[in-house]
Homo-oligomer: A and B are copies of this chain.
Amino acid sequence: MRAKADVLQTPEKEDPMQENAGLGAFFSPRSVAIVGASSDPKKPGHTAMKNLISMGYKGNVFPINPREDSILGYQCYKNTLDIPEPVDLCVLLVSAELTLTVAAELVERKSRFHDVTGAICMSAGFAELNTSEAKQREQELVRILKAASIRLIGPNCLGVIDTRSGFNTNFDIPSYPQGGISILTQSGAFANSYLFWAEGLRLIGLSKFASIGNMADVSMGELLTLLKADDATRVIGIYLEGLQNPREFFEIARQVSAVKPIVVMKTGKSGPGSTATLFHTGSVSGIDAIYENNFKQAGIIRARTVLEFFDTLRAFERQPIPAGNRVCVLTHMGGPGTICIDEISTIPDLQLARFSAETSTALKSICAPMANVGHPDGYVDLTAAHYPKLHNEVLQILFREKSVDLVLQILAPSAFIDQNLIAEEIAAACESQTGRKKPFLNAVTFGSFALDARRGLENAGLPTFEYPDMLARVAGNIVGYALFRKKTGAKDLG
């Protein structure tokens, strides 16, 4: 049997998480009981526990299952009352009916040992069923735990991941690269889809993840407050169906937006969609126009599509906030370049940069005679007569040009191009920037043929995208956030 951690971890006093209304225990609990842990690899109670261990969580782990002696090398207990050491957090993976019994047991335990601070209820079968019985069950669960000041995440969720503490209750994600994106979601599957989508090319890194399902107790707003104080979180992505306390949420969100960007995917926009949210998380999705207006007021960027949500978060994670809204586009492909220019033209927040005479002359002197410099403003099409070193030289000129606040590039490495070399030249141009860095977003087309170029750019910390029109939308979103900050007098992030 595997040895448990020798010493009970002492909470560090300077840890800001511990000061956050006790919610820190959800992300880095000193110890955790898993009710419904299992030796059966086909059960969520098995993989959740396996993933917890594989992420490197260092606290004590106490599986609870009356029919097992040990699970994955950890001693098993019949119930939470039997655990002879302090229990900070409890993960609930049993049926909705049994959940209430365990909740009462946790209250009993807390009265005896003064330990349990939080519970994550992953089980479904509560308000989302939309029967009065199930709704009552959820209210009862909250009532029982609240009486003992035990906070609850869920029910009907995938729980939590924290890539720093290694704490992880997610069935499907065994581990994840650390990074600057944090996610709050009412749909575990939606958020997991993002994590898996980005995984192959390591397109994102994660700080914290909270799937909070029906949000019966711990709210989006409270978790936003926690993420505001989390230095590792550069940007917050939210999947939202409906809020019980919109006023609280938007007040907090406004404060968070002054410090770091929030990107939201809000569903239940339509009548049928709001029926779907009601039966998914019991959420009342509200009037969409009111949400839309509140998002704007709070500086929250609302994505129009799933891919825009995915891609906007990536841009914020890896690139700085622009100083202004003037954009230029570099490409060697007239069609994709035109698509990007067209999309930029639909976004009121964006403006095409006007090159100075100096910049135009400098560009023309190094580009092929048939290259297009400045038609329209802010546009450079190198045509097929491009080569790796030219990208470096052109980008250096664009980064130096005063009228340019952010640079977009659309790239497709044809068979004549050394993909690693072109990625190096582009990265070198970005690194050569002095003073305030300008955001740089690159759409690499040519799919799997272009993987080396994409990987090279991603490894250099440069986010890559796939579609030239999405590049414009992402640019519009990061500029929209920059303009919000300017308008509200938030501290300049340059």
Contact = CB atoms under 8 A, between A and B. Distances in A.
Interface in A191-239: 191-193, 196-200, 239
B270 A187 contact: no
Interface stretch (A69-77, A140-148, A379-387): A379-387
B346 A306 contact: no
A172 interface: yes
Interface stretch (A11-19, A389-397, A422-430, A447-455): A447-455
A269 interface: yes
Given A124-B384, A273-B341, A333-B189, A171 B467 contact: no
B469 A414 contact: no
A446 B192 contact: yes
A416 B450 CA distance: 33
Q: How large is the interface on A (under 10, 10 to 19, 20 to 34, 35 or more residues)?
A: 35 or more
Given A198-B447, A384-B124, A338 B376 contact: no
Interface string A166-191: 00000110000000000001111111
Contact of A187 (B186, B277, B335, B448): B335
Interface stretch (A79-87, A247-255, A278-286): A278-286
Interface in A32-68: 42-44, 47
B445 A196 contact: yes
A305 B467 contact: yes
Contacts of A381: 276, 279-280
B125 A272 contact: no
A334 B280 contact: yes
A271 interface: yes
A268 interface: yes
A263 interface: no
Contact of A269 (B125, B275, B342, B372): B342
Given A171-B414, A338-B276, A375-B275, A333 B187 contact: yes
A42 B276 contact: no
A336 B193 contact: yes
Contacts of A416: 42-44, 47, 171
B189 A335 contact: yes
A292 to B, nearest CB: 13
Given A193-B445, A468-B306, A341 B384 contact: no
A279 B186 contact: no
A398 interface: no
B345 A447 contact: no
A458 interface: no
Contacts of A344: 272
A303 to B, nearest CB: 10
A467 B339 contact: no
A393 to B, nearest CB: 20
Contact of A281 (B334, B352, B447, B450): B334
A280 B372 contact: yes
Given A273-B345, A339-B265, A352-B272, A415 B375 contact: no
A307 interface: yes
A115 to B, nearest CB: 30
A241 interface: yes
A159 B370 CA distance: 19
Given A42-B416, A129-B370, A267 B447 contact: no
Given A196-B449, A276-B337, 12 more contacts: A188-B335, A189-B333, A190-B335, A192-B412, A196-B412, A200-B447, A241-B338, A270-B341, A272-B377, A276-B375, A280-B338, A307-B466
9 contacts: A43-B416, A44-B384, A124-B384, A171-B415, A267-B338, A270-B346, A273-B341, A277-B338, A305-B470
